[in-house]
């Protein structure tokens, strides 16, 4: 796409003012980093707090009687059991058991609030409109801004500006006033750290972002550090670690299949997914720790000691908090146990690696 056809978020001018290096991502012009650099941004988020613009994600409101039951026909998560003010991670699946997208669902008193991935949001809307009954109203809110305040100091920042948010525990949500601006806030994020995702009206986004960045603990963070943070946290990136050819069981997302849904099914691909849940899969997503300092990137082939291909890396890079290369990918199930020796074929050379548990850095969510 040319620069003239790229979409922009409500914070585009601010990114440029802050010296953001702008790149194309999911059809949007987004900052990959700021002058401090990806390494500094990553470590600052782990140590203090970082502010991310994630307004390219798709925000959707579902309302009407039976909206929760209707959504359950498209996802394997327990949506009907979700209490007001609580959030759940779930997946849109297809009839082959593959993953169309992963998403977050928060229940408020009179509606469900969904956040879907940027690259999938148009097709997700079409998918829901094609399958949800006429009594369910779908409101697209793509014009709203969405930002994530992440890191151990996020709570201290929010205690000053929007103290009601501090009452939330991990995967909780509420309407909160931050610096005099009403926002929809969830205590969640995609870094493995404590933090908040903040949905706000487009015309108030710049003011709110500047207010947050004025806090001494906060610095702006680009897509580069967002990726390295989520990789260290062992979190999947749609289109890389999960896709339409990957089932939730292969992806080691068994926990996203609700207990009742395991018994009842009733979602696309249920027969395949539930059979895999019971009988296992031929391959599995695992963490990988390459030895040495050289990162093993996406599409790197994985082999056994005899050089036979056993899988492929789907996300990989240097983990600044870990101090070495980290990766995740898929291997034959026989090689999926922690500590298993494998090789990563980097530039034609077999580099030793081990299957490792994830996350690579401990999650620090605020569970109360």
pLDDT the model gives residue 1: 52
Q: Is 301 annotated as a binding residue?
A: no
236's tokens: 């999947």
pLDDT, average across residues 324-353: 97
pLDDT score recorded for residue 3:
63
- Beta strand residue intervals within the chain, DSSP E: 21-25, 28-33, 49-53, 58-63, 86-93, 99-108, 111-116, 137-140, 145-150, 173-178, 181-186, 195-200, 218-221, 283-290, 301-303, 309-319, 324-332, 341-346, 349-356
pLDDT digits (tens, 9 = 90+) for 119-149: 999 999 999 999 999 999 999 999 999 999 9
User: Is the pLDDT reported for residue 4 higher than 80?
Assistant: no
pLDDT in tens, 37-66: 999 999 999 999 999 999 999 999 999 999
Neighbours of 269 (CB within 10 A): 21
Q: What pLDDT, on the 0 to 100 scale, is given for residue 194? A: 98
Q: How many CA atoms lie within 13 A of 24 on its CB side?
A: 7
pLDDT at 51: 99
Query: What residues are paired with 174 via a beta bridge?
Result: 185
Task: For residue 101, count other CB atoms closer than 10 A to its CB.
Answer: 23
Residue 198 clears pLDDT 60, i.e. is over it: yes
Question: Any idea which residue has 């409500």 for tokens?
Answer: 10
3-state secondary structure of 332: strand
CA distances from 26 to 46, 58, 117, 149, 171 (A): 26, 11, 9, 21, 26
pLDDT digits (tens, 9 = 90+) for 253-301: 999 999 999 999 999 999 999 999 999 999 999 999 999 999 999 999 9
Instruction: Indicate if the alpha-carbon torsion angle 70, 71, 72, 73 is positive or negative.
Output: positive
CATH code of the region 59-136: 3.30.70.1400
Architecture per CATH, 11-56+143-232: 2-Layer Sandwich (3.30)
CATH 3.30.420.480 fits 282-356, yes or no: no
| Closest by CA position to 357, among listed 332, 343, 340 | 340
State the CB neighbour count (10 A cutoff) for residue 358.
20
What pTM did the predictor assign?
0.96
| Residue 237 pLDDT exceeds 80 | yes
List Cβ neighbours of 118 (8 Å cut-off, separation of 6 or more). Answer: 25, 26, 27, 28, 56, 57, 58
Do the beta carbons of residue 343 and residue 174 sit within 8 Å?
A: no
Say if residue 24's pLDDT is above 80.
Answer: yes
Query: What's the pLDDT at 123?
Result: 98
Mean pLDDT, all residues of the chain: 97
Domain boundaries, the chain: 11-56+143-232, 59-136, 282-356
Categorize the per-residue pLDDT at 357 as very low, low, confident or very high, splitting at 50, 70 and 90: very high
Q: Do domains 11-56+143-232 and 59-136 have the same CATH topology?
A: no
Return the pLDDT at 2.
58
């Amino acid at each position: 796409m040319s620069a003239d056809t790229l979409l922009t978020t409500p914070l585009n001018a601010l990114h440029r003012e802050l010296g953001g290096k702008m790149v194309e991502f999911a059809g949007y012009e987004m900052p990959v980093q700021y002058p401090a650099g990806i390494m500094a941004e990553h470590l600052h988020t782990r140590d203090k707090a970082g502010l991310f613009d994630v307004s390219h994600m798709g925000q959707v409101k579902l309302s009407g009687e039976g909206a929760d039951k209707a959504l359950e026909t498209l996802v394997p998560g327990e949506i009907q059991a979700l209490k007001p003010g609580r959030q759940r991670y779930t997946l849109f699946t297809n009839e082959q058991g593959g993953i169309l997208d992963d998403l977050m669902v928060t229940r408020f008193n009179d509606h469900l609030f969904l956040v879907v991935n940027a690259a999938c949001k148009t097709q997700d809307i079409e998918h829901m409109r094609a399958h949800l009954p006429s009594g369910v109203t779908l409101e697209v809110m793509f014009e709203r801004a969405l930002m994530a305040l992440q890191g151990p100091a996020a709570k201290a920042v929010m205690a000053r500006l929007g103290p009601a948010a501090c009452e939330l525990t991990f995967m909780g949500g509420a309407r909160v006033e931050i610096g005099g601006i009403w926002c929809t806030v969830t205590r969640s994020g995609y870094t493995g750290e404590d933090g908040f995702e903040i949905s706000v009206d487009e015309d108030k986004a710049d003011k709110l972002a500047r207010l947050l960045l004025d806090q001494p603990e906060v610095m702006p963070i680009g897509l580069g550090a967002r990726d390295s943070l989520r990789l260290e946290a062992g979190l999947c990136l749609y289109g890389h670690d999960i896709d339409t050819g990957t089932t939730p069981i292969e992806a080691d997302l068994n926990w996203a299949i609700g207990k009742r849904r395991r018994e009842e099914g009733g979602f696309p691909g249920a027969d395949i997914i539930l059979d895999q849940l019971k009988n296992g899969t031929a391959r599995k997503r695992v963490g990988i720790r390459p030895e040495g300092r050289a990162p093993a990137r996406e599409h790197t082939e994985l082999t056994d000691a005899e050089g036979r291909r056993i899988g492929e890396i789907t996300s990989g890079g240097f983990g600044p908090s870990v101090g070495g290369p980290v990766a995740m990918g898929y291997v034959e199930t026989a090689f999926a146990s922690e500590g298993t020796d494998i090789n990563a074929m980097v530039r034609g050379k077999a580099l030793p690696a081990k299957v490792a548990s994830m996350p690579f850095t401990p999650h620090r969510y605020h569970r109360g």
